[in-house]
Structure 1
Amino acid sequence: MINAVITGVGGYVPEDILTNEELAKIVDTSDEWIMSRVGIKERRVLKGGKAMSYMGIQAVNDLIRKTGIEPESVEGVICATSTGDYHFPPAASIISYQTGCRKAFAFDLQAACSGFIYLLETAANYIRSGRYKRIIAVAGDMMTAITNYTDRTTCPLFGDGCGAILVEATNESVGILDSILRSDGSGLPHLLMKAGGSAKMPSYETIDNHEHTVYQEGKVVFKRAVSEMADVAAEIVERNGLKKDNIDWIVPHQANMRIIDAAARRLEVPIEKVMVNIQRYGNTSSGSIPLCLWEWESKLRRGDNLILAAFGAGFTWGATYIKWGYDGDDT
């Protein structure tokens, strides 16, 4: 049986930092208010006229450098993002070309903050088909490009960042072993960008009304995110016969510290086993989980059981069970 295994992780976050104190000069908020509600201290901001693909290129170059692969050996580049450079072409085609992966197919997928979970299953199935042996999966967002800095309820949440993973074929019993993907389209009015698509074309009015930025009904989204992320994580744990004692790491989407805590409590896993970087990066949407893997890579060991879980607009949500394939110290 062919399994799909992660064999390397790359990442990138911009150098520029926007602290809560700096944000409080822009909008009516405070460090205490933000920390108590979402657990974010600062976030990264991509500046200099750069776009999302720039972060993807940096993350993939980091991955290629660490793994030592030849770029032209990559057969596919798939990118999960909600903030691509353009409506078309896909960011993946820009990233693959600029990183030398010029024999690869390339396309984007969009599942908002659940993007990396959907991306993992997509990349893994290309490998499991037996037709492909090496795929690069990129996930990231330039959320500050679609943030309304006059909205005190949403502007503290988001930051920019991107991760990239190498997915390869193996005959061993490690890798991306199971996924559960879910959606509920009734969530549309509660979390969306109201304009810019074919449903509502850009106009002076939509720009004046900030309809090209994130709109979120926080209480509704919070309630669903807590229940769905915790439930789907518990479901995949039970389905694979895992117990709390043999879960090595929980890797949740970094949306809100209270949501992360709720998922950990549901699985009865101590917070020390939960990857958390929201305090430094904020919510980077599809980039949050791969950035956790990037930061914690040196601590991961072959055979570690990882549970990944995310919730995003759509609504979309899901969980993935990974048995890690290599010792982080080997990178």
Structure 2
Amino acid sequence: MASSRADRGATISGIGVYLPEHVVTNHDLSLTLETSDQWIRQRTGIMRRRIAAEDQSASTLAIPAGAAAIKEAGLVPEAVGLVIVASISPDQIMPATASRVAYALGAENAGAVDLSAGCSGFIYALAMATGLVESGIQEHVLVVGAEAISRILDWEDRSTAVLFGDAAGAVVVSATYGPNRILGLDMGNDGSGADLLQIPAGGSRLPATHATVDDGLHYLKMNGREVYRFATRVVPRSAAQILEHCGFSTSEVDLMVPHQANTRIIQAVARRLGIAWERVFTNLDEYGNTSCASIPLCLMEARARGLVYQGCRILLLGFGAGLSWGSCLLRWGDPVGVTTI
């Protein structure tokens, strides 16, 4: 029997990641900052992070991650109809980093667009891809979260320099008529908190000048206390809403994969949702906060550890600049390039 458009859904058909080789430990940072390994671990849960080489950028991190995802999906690059790059550290204001990524991958005729939603960017990009695939406009969309955040950090500011790492993670979102699919998405934003997490200068609101450079206004600035309050208030509410919409309870979530911002935030969110820590995946101890790359990086590692498997229900949670948030509930289907045992 032929399937109707109403049966059409979207699924993650391939996944890939890329991590720079250079590792910076908390001890390394303590040599130049007034901090210590103990101070960083206690407040963030982070032990080390990856830092991109001088000749690397968001696009050069994104390209191998995207290539791996396309290969795992069993596709040729020409089959990808759209490339979306979510990033807070794009190559340039224009052109889109996605245009360089698409060209380098060989998806030369694909559409290419960047998405800026802070650390919620991967969820937002996933939502865009899901809508385009479910509607039949696209068959395969490549979503990449790519960050060279080290380029936008003030390495003399311990409140931000210790938190972030560089990485890229990618997924291919493809059409499906099976049960393993993206089940629901929720997104929101509170612009009253726009100044709490920002890069003040470099855009049309505050163009680059000698003064903005001298004043360090092209670096990431964050009010950590207020971001914590925001995340622990809004993210559990968003997660509860998407679960209710999809007809599931928190007890039916097999794995929670949150944006890897801070262990304290993640613990508070899990506690308020009533999700046991054993069902929460974290890897920020190894990679720090990789912003838009954090969720796909977690998915890849969780699958490698056997925590992501055919049919499991996964709750993805993002939050960040804007102040933005996003939640996604999906039922996992093994990509075609993965052999299950």
With normalisation by structure 1, the TM-score equals: 0.97
The answer to whether the 8 Å contact 1:140/1:288 transfers is: no
What is the alpha-carbon distance in structure 1 between the residues aligned to residue 235 and residue 146 of structure 2?
A: 20
Where structure 2 has 5 or more consecutive residues not aligned to the other structure, the ranges are 1-5
Matched, 1:29 2:26: no
CA RMSD of aligned residues (A): 1.4
What is the alpha-carbon distance in structure 2 between the residues aligned to residue 218 and residue 244 of structure 1?
A: 28
What is the alpha-carbon distance in structure 2 between the residues aligned to residue 283 and residue 265 of structure 1?
A: 21
Residue correspondences, number: 331
What is the alpha-carbon distance in structure 1 between the residues aligned to residue 54 and residue 167 of structure 2?
A: 15
What is the alpha-carbon distance in structure 2 between the residues aligned to residue 66 and residue 208 of structure 1?
A: 46
In the alignment, residue 287 of structure 1 is paired with which amino acid?
A: A
Q: Which aligned pairs between 1:173-188 and structure 2 lie closer than 5 A?
A: 173-188=179-194
Aligned to 1:102: 108
With normalisation by structure 2, the TM-score equals: 0.94
1:123 Cα shift? 0.3
Identity of aligned residues (%): 39
Where structure 1 has 5 or more consecutive residues not aligned to the other structure, the ranges are none
Aligned to 2:325: 317
The answer to whether the 8 Å contact 1:234/1:266 transfers is: no
What is the alpha-carbon distance in structure 2 between the residues aligned to residue 65 and residue 22 of structure 1?
A: 36
What is the alpha-carbon distance in structure 1 between the residues aligned to residue 270 and residue 262 of structure 2?
A: 13
The structure 2 residue matched to 1:305, chosen from 309, 313, 319, is 313
What is the alpha-carbon distance in structure 1 between the residues aligned to residue 225 and residue 171 of structure 2?
A: 33
In the alignment, residue 314 of structure 1 is paired with which amino acid?
A: G
In the alignment, residue 93 of structure 2 is paired with which amino acid?
A: H
The answer to whether the 8 Å contact 2:15/2:70 transfers is: no
The answer to whether the 8 Å contact 1:73/1:103 transfers is: no
The structure 2 residue matched to 1:61, chosen from 60, 67, 70, is 67
Bigger shift: residues 59-68 or 29-38: 59-68
The structure 1 residue matched to 2:124, chosen from 100, 108, 118, is 118
Aligned to 1:239: 245
The answer to whether the 8 Å contact 1:79/1:138 transfers is: yes
Matched, 1:295 2:304: no
The answer to whether the 8 Å contact 1:81/1:108 transfers is: yes
Q: Which runs of 4+ in 1 moved over 4 A?
A: none
Matched, 1:330 2:317: no
In the alignment, residue 21 of structure 1 is paired with which amino acid?
A: H
In the alignment, residue 339 of structure 2 is paired with which amino acid?
A: D
What is the alpha-carbon distance in structure 2 between the residues aligned to residue 131 and residue 67 of structure 1?
A: 19
Q: Secondary structure at the match of 1:309?
A: strand
What is the alpha-carbon distance in structure 1 between the residues aligned to residue 119 and residue 128 of structure 2?
A: 16
1:139 Cα shift? 0.9
The answer to whether the 8 Å contact 1:230/1:262 transfers is: no
What is the alpha-carbon distance in structure 2 between the residues aligned to residue 71 and residue 191 of structure 1?
A: 36
What is the alpha-carbon distance in structure 2 between the residues aligned to residue 121 and residue 257 of structure 1?
A: 26
In the alignment, residue 317 of structure 1 is paired with which amino acid?
A: W
What is the alpha-carbon distance in structure 1 between the residues aligned to residue 71 and residue 179 of structure 2?
A: 27
What is the alpha-carbon distance in structure 2 between the residues aligned to residue 226 and residue 330 of structure 1?
A: 38
1:329 Cα shift? 5.2
The structure 2 residue matched to 1:286, chosen from 289, 292, 296, is 292
Matched, 1:211 2:196: no
Matched, 1:41 2:47: yes
What is the alpha-carbon distance in structure 1 between the residues aligned to residue 195 and residue 149 of structure 2?
A: 19
Aligned to 1:51: 57
Q: Secondary structure at the match of 2:107?
A: coil
Q: Secondary structure at the match of 1:154?
A: helix
The answer to whether the 8 Å contact 1:236/1:321 transfers is: yes
Q: Secondary structure at the match of 1:77?
A: strand
What is the alpha-carbon distance in structure 2 between the residues aligned to residue 106 and residue 169 of structure 1?
A: 19
